[in-house]
Amino acid sequence: MSTVLENGPQPAATVPDGVHPLRGNAVLARYGDLTLVCEAVPGRQHRIGALLDAVAEVAAGEAGGRRLSHQVAGLVSSAGPDEDFPALCAFGPTRDGMAVVVHGGAELIVTVNGEQVHLDGRDAVTVLDRVITDPVEAVQAVVGGTDLGPVEEAPSVPREAPGEATPEPADGAIPTGETTAEETATRVPGVQCARNHFNDPAVSYCSVCGISMAQSRRAPDWGPRPQLGVLVLDDGTTVPLLRDLVIGRMPEADDAVAAGEAEPVTLADPLVSRRHARIALREWQVVVTDLGSANGTFVLARDSATWTRLEPGAETVLEPGSTVAAGMRQFHYYSHRHR
């Protein structure tokens, strides 16, 4: 079965498992045979985080598509009637077929027996929740009117019950002809799960397939560091964590950006300094440093109600789910490689 995510005539692309920003303001979360795509709606970062958490939780528990659709439908239903919940679609295999859930300005076009079935989230009061029992040949997802570009996925295989053998999920691949993240990533110490996925030695479950790392019998080794998650800005922009970033009103003024050692992230706000803060990757950790900004950099830890002002020049480890404030702007850090 192939999966296509598109809203325009863009070339085909494939992505590996994990959390990824897509062209336009959208986020893709894929773990094995479970897939979710949602809009990165400004001001709804907490909802995006809850959706990403749901996919990772279901994958870590080795549950299937029905569990995912229930989790996602519950999150949408719990939102207030006036809340602009992000448009989304999610799907995954069940023992009887494929479970799908669609909400808002999203559509799934499912090919069954050579014919297309259109599932539009706008046709439901809250969510459209279905189980397709006929063999699915292809799925095309259109989300939020943004140009997501196509993504090819390996055939979906239903997850097995506990105690039974689980097939190896296929990893996606970056298109040939482009520099892959593996080719440019810094090498870091890590361990392989029983299915040969490279992981942070501190995690309890594989961040790709969700199996327990207790099954790993391999000694620590060095390998290319994978993407450590995404930053979601308050305007819905998503930034992948593949290398160091400099945040500011004019981040290109930073020496590391000029030298090509960091990527610039521009925040248009007069209270944000030209070079405000740096997001750096230290092996498997994401750290933030205030660069002597005039108005300070603040961090709100997940499940905390208290903002902490950073000491200029001191590195602070960001935990997944944390929020960072610079001037009147905010961004959120999401990752599931800690699980």
- pLDDT tens, residue by residue, 196-242: 888 888 888 777 777 778 766 667 788 888 888 889 888 878 888 98
Predicted pLDDT of residue 288: 97
Q: According to the model, what pLDDT value does residue 197 have?
A: 82
Residue type, 1: M
Contacts with 34 (C-beta within 8 Å, 6 or more apart), sequence order: 55, 58, 59, 64, 65, 68, 90, 91, 92
| Per-residue 3-state assignment (H helix, E strand, C coil) for the chain | CEEEECCCCCCCECCCCEEEEECCCEEEEEECCEEEEEECCCCCHHHHHHHHHHHHHHHHCCCCHHHHHHHHHHHHHHCCCCCCCCCEEEEEEECCEEEEEEECCEEEEEEECCEEEEEEHHHCCCCEEEEECCCEEEEEEEECCCCCCCECCCCCCCCCCCCCCCCCCCCCCCCCCCCCHHHHCCEEEEEECCCCCEECCCCCECCCCCCEHHHCCCCCEEEECCCCCEEEECCCCEEECCCCEEEECCHHHCHHHHCCCCEEEECCCCCCCCCCEEEEEECCEEEEEECCCCCCEEEECCCCCCEEECCCCCCEEECCCCEEEECCEEEEEECCCCC
Residue burial 24-42, b: 16+ Cβ < 10 Å; e: rest = bbbbbbbbbbbbbbbbbbe
- List, for residues 77-119, the tens digit of each pLDDT value: 887 766 778 899 999 988 888 999 999 888 888 888 888 888 8
Counting as low any pLDDT under 70, the low residues of the chain are 1-16, 23-24, 62, 81-82, 144-185, 215-218, 336-339
Q: Identify the CA nearest to 160 among candidates 200, 207, 104, 210.
A: 210
Looking at residue 291, its pLDDT comes to 97
Q: Which two tokens stand for residue 252?
A: 């290109």
Q: What pLDDT sits at residue 81?
A: 66
| CA–CA distance, 267 with 247 (Å, rounded to integer) | 7
Q: What is the pLDDT of residue 144?
A: 66
> HSE on the CB side for 44, CA within 13 Å?
24
